[in-house]
Amino acid sequence: MADTRNAHFWRWYRTLPIVLMTAMLALTLVVDVLPTEMVRHVFFPVSYAERIDDAAARHGVDPHLVAAVIRCESGWNETAQSGAGAVGLMQLMPETAKNVAGLGLVDTNTYDPNRLTDAVTNIEYGTAYLAYLGSQFSDSDEIICAYNAGIGAVQGWQQNAAGGEFRDAIAYPETREYLNSVNEAIRQYTKYYPNGMSVV
């Protein structure tokens, strides 16, 4: 009896990934035939679009990357807070924001680093931090991973890659998944907002 139950369980367990992949494929096909405006509104909504474009232009960052980070970090929830203390849309650590301010990358008279729960302030600091990471790393995958895991971790993975594939050297499963999610979100935002987040 137990063997029969185990056999049924393992058959179901092997089938589940196939079902999920089929569902994702079906969803992708449906999204591809829906009107662009509906897809934007239902699947890829954007808040603070003009603020994202403004901050991205000011700091020389791709606005699609900013939107993708927001989607993956907080799901556009400006009041989001993590157990580790990350705050707001771009899930910034207060210490990171203060470091960005200390580097002179943000006008602290306009954007107070202590007000990370304010969406506009959070976008400004998060975008400035992405720009700073861009000054440390030349590869977009490295920038995305550093946003998630930190500069030190990425530098270690660069060394471990030793001329090989950087992605293969990423030691944290969470960061590998984060990288995939952000890159997919960038692809979708670029497709549905080709001229920037506020130009549709």
Give CA–CA dist 117/185, Å, rounded: 23
142 is catalytic: no
Give CA–CA dist 15/33, Å, rounded: 28
Residue 157, token pair as written in the block:
């993975």
Radius of gyration of the chain from Cα atoms? 20
Residue of 37, 50, 73, 174 marked catalytic = 73
Tell the residue number behind the tokens 């107070």, with chain if given: 112
Which residues, 6+ apart, have CB-to-CB distance to 171 below 8 Å? 153, 156, 157, 160
- Catalytic positions, written as ranges: 73
